[in-house]
Structures are given as structure tokens and as C-alpha cells.
Structure 1
């Protein structure tokens, strides 16, 4: 009886709703409503100036029409390669840098962390323009710098060749954002209890062996989070490609990704007229791809990584 009375007199915590309300309202206005608006727009088509409901016809056009499907699959394939570059280059380098910078005897570690993280806060436009100047065969410094080490014969206009342009842009993006996985893994390494490290040292596990056998399994959850953030970020990529190669994502659409394909379709570019309905269809497919990737991570990967959490 006393327990029921105490529960009935428990105060309602209205302050929680008050504090959450501004964030929920802003997120709903900026993210949720535009998302549903995009999904709705993909189900309509403007015919003779009249907006008509066509159901999934726009999706059938995207996958069934050879002109649309060729561009979509080309952009999707480029997006996948862009993501693979970040997974195989950016994240391993970030983990290695974090392991080095977390060494207690390393001098000037704070300076190194800052220097590596600074490119992350730079504008995409600045990064794209600077690297176009650096890699330019006419006035760039890359040929001269490669000549200093005897590698000038290896230089080629990477951003101007179809087989190299996307990889070059991917590596530029890696240079800009490698500081993010470095800092996240660095924080995860610092959170490992000292007792675990001391026990490993007592057992004679030190140096690189300690990282591979002790630290790496313990930071796997953080690596999983970095991987899904990389996936979402790369399938939302647009700025660097647009600033470096323009909306046409040249040469010959070799750097075209879903973001630039969406931009040209929705807003139009040069002789191509904008089609908001097909643009919304492409945006919806981007949302479904990202949603599928996040679900795979949450239900197939994260559940297996929980065993390594403290």
C-alpha cells in the first residue's frame, strides 16, 4: 500500500519534455518533414503542367529506362568505390595514427593531433580548389615535388584521366578527413582501463603485440561506429566532387556519384532540364541504400561487437 502511494505521488518530469522539445522540433522541421516530402514527390510526375500521382513509375523509369539506369548504376558504382577507398585507406591510417599518438612517451603528441585534424575543418571548396592547383600539370607543384625525389616520370594529370580521377579525389577526401577516425580511435584507446594494460604487461605482452591482442579487440565497437559513419558520409558525398570536377563530374562522368547525379537531375545543368520528381526518386534511392546499410550494421554487426564493450 505504501509502495502504491509513493508511486502515485511520484512527480511528473515535465522538464525532460521541455528540454527535448526544441531539438525535436528543429530536427523534425529540418530532417523528418523534408524526408517525407521527398518520398512523396517521388510518387508524382508533372504531365502537361499538371501534377499527377504515378505510384512507382518513376522508380521503374530509373531502373528500366537505359538512359536513366546507365547513369544510376555508374553513379552507384563510383559511390561504392569512393566508400571502399575510405574504408581501406582512411580508417586503417586513422587507427595507426591513433595508436602512435596514444603512446605515452611520444613528444609533441598534441601538436601532431592538431596538425592532422586541421584539414577536417577546411571548406570543401577550398580543399577542392587547392588540390586542383597542386595536381595541375601546368602550374601545379606536384610535378616539381615529384621531380625532387626522382619520380617526375610517374606524374600524370590524375584529375583529368577517367581511370584515375575518382581514386585521386577519394585520396584527397582521405587526406581531409583522416583526423576524424584518428580522434575517435584515440579517445577509445584512452578509455581502456589501466588495469587491463598493466595485466598485459605483467604477462609480457607489450608493444605491437599488445595493440593487436589487447587494445584492438577492445576498440572494435568504436571501429564499427567509424565504419558506419564512413558509409553514411560517403553515400551523402557531393561537395568535394562538385568543387573539383563540377556538376558534370568529369571526365566523361568518371567521378559521377549519386550526389552529383541527384543535383543534375533535380536542378538541371546546362542543356539538361531539371526534373524534381526524378530527382526525388534518386534521393529516395539514396535514403533506402543508406537505411539498408545502417540496418545491416545495427542488426548483424553491432550485436556481435557488444561482447567487447566494458
Structure 2
């Protein structure tokens, strides 16, 4: 006896396919509806300013009045005119040092804290909150607070050093070129260490325990287990943190402004590209709009280009490990 509703192989059912098509079409409509607000905000606050800056950089300006079209003339002016021709390499070098120091201190401490919290879950939520609180505060506020703490006149840091007998260590930390940039790196690491800690902690939680147990059964030490088993599996998290740290370090402005002012501290020891753009835009000459727009596009091209190269390089490293 043959069933009437039996499905024969090779037979198409237009009604069912039409229903699937409608379901897919409806789902794509809903996706578009939910993505549209985010795309609109992204276009309004990211794409439009970029296009506007690129457009402004192609013209010479007389105050706020647009003058003649100069093409890439503003870019050449920024790179060759004194003092910008000397300030750009110095500020770029400070950004590089700031990135390297932040990677070495902030992310190393973040990884160490993540490992400690992963091994000792008692009080985990409390310490996660404590270490994450600083990056919820505005960098401007953080900078002004630390400038008070490090004040050579009434700051508690120098007072404690004098109290414990380390008076030779007490100094104007933000007033000496040799200490200004290291202090900036330490303050920045203190504020943002919670971010890498949370990312590393989530990555550690995703590592199968069977791999660690197998390494322990083979006689591997705790350090060897971490270096040979855990760390290679943490490379995706390392890649994400490295790219985010690079972008943050090359976009730094507010913390440096709060600690060292628009000139970047003593002798420009903390001068970075963000401060240089600020001075060009608000303390420049009659063509400030054109030159600052050209400088902004150069900074964007540098950050975007290096971020893409870093991301691809780290992904290749993930594959080889």
C-alpha cells in the first residue's frame, strides 16, 4: 500500500521552497531593521567626519573661510614646515614608546591577574569589579587626580617616600623629562589593566581542562603547562588586545592633556600625535583647519594601516602555533 503523502526523492515541492524563501526574506528584513540604527550612528559619527576632514584638507583656509583648492599641498606643508616637521617625528616616537611600555606593563599584569583569578575563584567577582572600576572613569579625571597625587608640593606620593626614609626618591615626577613619559605609561596601565584582565580571563575559561590534565600527567611543570598549552590557545586574545592597545595608544589625548597640558609636559617629553593635532587645530595660524585636517588624515592612515597589518600578522601567528 502506497502512502499518499510519501516524499519521493528528486521531487521538488514549490510550496515548501516558497515558504523557505519568504522566511529568509523576512529574516533579512529584520536584520536590516536592527542594523540600520547602528549603521546610521556609525555613518554620522565616523564616516561623515572622515570624509569632511579629507575634504577640508584639500583646501587652504583663511580663518573659517574656505579659500583655493590646493590638493595635497596641506600635507606637504605639515611635513615640511617648521616646527611641525620636527614635532611630528618626536610625537610619533613618543606614541611608539607609549605603546611598547603599555604592552609590556598593562597586558603582562592583566594576564597575571587573570591567571591568579582563574586558579583561585574565591572572591573572583569582587576583584574583577575592583580592577575594572578605573577604566569606567574619564581619563581626564584620572589624569587630574594623579597630577594631584604626584604633586611635589603636597602630593601624598612624595610625602610617603619622605616618611619611609626614601627622600632621595621624592621628585617632581611630571616636571622632569626623564620621568614624565614613564609616569604617563604607569598611570595609563593602572587605569586600563582591567580590560586585558577580563579578556584573558574569558579566554582561559574556554581552554579545555583535559589538555592541562594531560600535560600534568606527562610530568609537565606548572610553568611548562602554561607556556606550552595555555599560552598558544590564548593567542587569539593576545591578538585582540594588541590591536586594541595599539589603537588606544595612538589615539591618546585626554590623559596626556590632563597630566602635561597641551605642550606635552616638560620639554615636550609627553608630546604625542593627539596633542600635536590639538595645537595645530586650535593654536595654529590662519590655515589651521586645512593643516589640522591633513594631519588628522595622516594619523588615521597610520593607525588604520598598522592595525590591519598587526591583525593579519597575529592571525598568521595563531595558525603557526
Q: TM-score, normalised by structure 1?
A: 0.91
* CA spacing shift, 1:258–1:2, aligned 2, 3 Å: farther
Q: Does 1:279 align with 2:279?
A: no
**1:171-223 Cα shifts (integer Å, max 9, x gaps):** 11111111111111011001112222222232233522221121111101101
C-alpha deviation, 1:22, in angstroms:
0.9
Paired with 2:277 and 2:250, the residues of 1 have a C-alpha distance of 12
1:56 aligned partner: 72
Displacement of 1:268: 2.3
User: What is the CA–CA distance in structure 1 between the aligned matches of 2:185 and 2:319, rounded to whole Å?
Assistant: 31
1:88 aligns with 2:104: yes
Check the 8 A contact 1:236/1:259 in 2, yes or no.
yes
Identify the match of residue 37 of structure 2 among 13, 17, 22.
22
- 1:227-286 residue CA offsets vs partner (Å, 9 max, x unmatched): 0000001111111011122222222322111111111111228xx667111111111111
Residue 192 (structure 1) aligned to one of 207, 215, 229: 207
Aligned to 1:145: 160
In 2: Cα distance, 1:303 partner to 1:223 partner: 13
RMSD, matched Cα: 2.1
**Alignment partners' CA distance in 2, 1:222 and 1:109:** 20
C-alpha distance after superposition, 1:75-105 (max 9, x if no partner): 11111111111011111111111111110x4
Say if 2:304 is the partner of 1:291.
Answer: yes
The answer as to 2:165 corresponding to 1:160 is no
Task: Indicate the SS of the match to 2:154.
Answer: coil
Offset of 1:304 from its aligned partner? Answer: 2.9
Cα distance between partner residues in 1 of 2:183 and 2:44: 37
Q: 1:229 corresponds to which residue?
A: 244
Q: Look up the SS of the partner of 1:102 in the other structure.
A: helix
Please say if residues 103 and 245 of structure 2, whose CA atoms lie closer than 8 Å, have aligned partners that are also in contact.
yes
How many angstroms apart in 1 are the aligned matches of 2:298 and 2:278? 14
CA distance in structure 2 between the aligned counterparts of 1:3 and 1:238, rounded to whole angstroms? 63
Q: Secondary structure at 2:249's aligned position in 1?
A: helix
Q: Report the Cα distance in structure 2 between the residues aligned to 1:267 and 1:2, rounded to whole angstroms.
A: 72
1:44 equivalent to 2:54? Answer no
Instruction: Show CA shifts across 1:26-54 (max 9, x none).
Output: 11111111111111111111259552211
> For structure 2, which runs of at least 5 residues remain unmatched after alignment?
1-9
Larger-gyration structure (1/2): 2
Cα drift, residue 151 of structure 1: 2.4
| Residue-pair matches, total | 305
| Alignment match of 2:94 (pick from 78, 96, 112) | 78
**SS of corresponding position for 2:67:** strand
Cα deviations by residue, 1:135-190 (Å, 9 ceiling, x for unpaired): 11110111222234432212211100122212211111111111111111011001
1-structure distance, mates of 2:197, 2:49: 33
203-212 or 287-296: bigger deviation: 203-212
